[in-house]
Amino acid sequence: MTALVRTLVVRCVPSEAGAGEGDFLGAGAFEPAVAALSDVTPQVEVSAPGTCAFASRGPSRYFGGEAVLAELILERMSQALGGRAGVRVGIAEGPFTAVVAAELADPVRIVRPGGAAAFLAPLPVRMLGRPQLTDVLVRLGIGTLGALAALPEADVLGRFGAEGRYAWRLAAGVDERSLAPREPLADWSVSTEIEPPADRLDRVAFCGRALAEELHRRLEKAGMSCLRIAVEAETTEGESFLRLWRHEGGLSAGDIADRVRWQFGSQLAGSGASRQGGGITRLVLVADELAPVRGRQLGFWGGEAEADERAARVAARLCGRLGAEAVKVPTRGAGRGVDEQIALVPAASTDVRDRRIAGDDRPWPGRLPAPSPARLLPAPWPAEVQDASGAAVRVDGRGSLSAPPARLQAGGRSVAVAAWAGPWPTEERWWDRGCRRRRARLQLLTGDGLGCLAVLERGRWQVTALWD
């Protein structure tokens, strides 16, 4: 097995002192802080505004140990941010464990070599950052990373597939993704000489967009997607500026162009020490890490592709301004309840251009048949479902109705029931007294044409969703 790379991760979170200037830390505000690390190491990887990482082995040896290095990074980043954000530093083997360490740091957390699995074991599975998988694991009673890591690898692979196996390895502290420099298998770089040297952001951004489109066309022809891009510039003073940008969902041409703008926006707009020594004479983009591209179903006439690209660009800009966790998009969830089948996840963690929302074909006994309700009520309506005699309709332990529904009282009105289907009873987490839940659901069509989902729980009926 490949030795895991000791990784240092910096996480910046908005502080109360910076609340008056805005409660977010965007790419423009974060770039000067990352630039403050340029004399510590040139290999800094930015995964999202507010989060960066680098391999710590070389710098820690040079500066006298990991503790000294962490304090140095903490001091420099704090000074560069000027109190607008709090800084946390985590050091561990592998990027995932280091990210978790930074998340829990106060303000520094160093996980000893070989201690990644023990450090992760008591932590909740939500630290994996995979809401759909986490939801299923919790329902199965697997609440901690240690509990997940204790499962046989073959069983996890058989039940959850490649994603589950990857999560299992992360939970065990085996994150083999390396931040160490490596020789690329092919030359996936594009560059341009800028004459006369550019000292304005619009010129650099224009060159960056042209290079990004050229690189993206080459990658597209090869069926590859760029997960990490290196943006490098040379100036008239002979200086070289390098930054690594990462996105797990793959970087489009527009995404790469945005990263170029973010990287040089503060430098070209600054003055004195915050500005580069001269104009930019050369710009280079290198696809540093690649993955096979995922297929994407476009519309029949192809018209949606442009709209999808615009949506991805807007999401990237908002992530740059508000932070990676602030912008969320819907994705397919897993569960029996209607409210569990759609989940909001960070836009930075998925491909916004992909219109497909993968279905969940796993068996969920008690799940409602298609089609799902068109509208979920933010606040359920208290309701009463009555039989022909006016008595409340009940559901027994076998899932049978006490009588056919004849009238519904909900939303301030009383209407006759024209048709109904169900019930669909469920009993979840029956082994846990604190979390067990029993429900029975009915699909009702009223005489005035209202289709609704009525749920009986703890002896009370509620209308929770509507079919338009």
More confident: 389 or 370: 389
pLDDT at 321: 60
Q: Are strands 375-386 and 342-346 parallel, antiparallel or unpaired?
A: unpaired
Q: Give residue-wise pLDDT tens across range 47-60.
A: 777 788 888 888 88
Rounded Cα gap, residues 345 and 105, in angstroms:
24
Mean pLDDT is lowest, of 8-12, 314-318, 431-435, for 314-318
15-24, 74-83, 385-394: range with lowest mean pLDDT: 15-24
- pLDDT band of residue 147 (cuts 50, 70, 90) is very high
167-218 pLDDT, tens per residue? 899 988 887 665 554 444 467 888 888 888 887 887 888 888 888 888 888 8
Confidence band, pLDDT 50/70/90 cuts, at residue 123 = very high
Least confident stretch, 47-51, 116-120, 406-410: 47-51
More confident residue, 79 or 428: 79
Mean pLDDT of 49-73: 86
How much is the pLDDT for 150?
Answer: 92
Q: What's the confidence (pLDDT) of residue 109?
A: 92
Q: Which of 106-115, 167-176, 181-190, 266-275 has the highest mean pLDDT?
A: 106-115
Q: Which domains does the chain have, with CATH numbers?
A: 189-292 (3.30.1490.100), 375-467 (no CATH)
pLDDT tier for residue 463 given thresholds of 50, 70 and 90 = confident
Q: Which residues of 417-426 are buried (b: 16+ CB within 10 A; e: fewer)?
A: beebebbbbb
Model confidence at 272: pLDDT above 70: no
The residue with greater pLDDT, 272 or 279, is 279
Is residue 426 pLDDT above 90, yes or no?
no
pLDDT for 182: 46
Give the mean pLDDT of 299-324. Answer: 60
Average pLDDT (411-419) is 82
Compute the mean pLDDT over every residue in the chain, rounded to the nearest whole number: 77
With bands split at pLDDT 50, 70 and 90, how would you rate the model's confidence at 273?
very low
The answer to whether residue 26 scores a pLDDT higher than 70 is: no
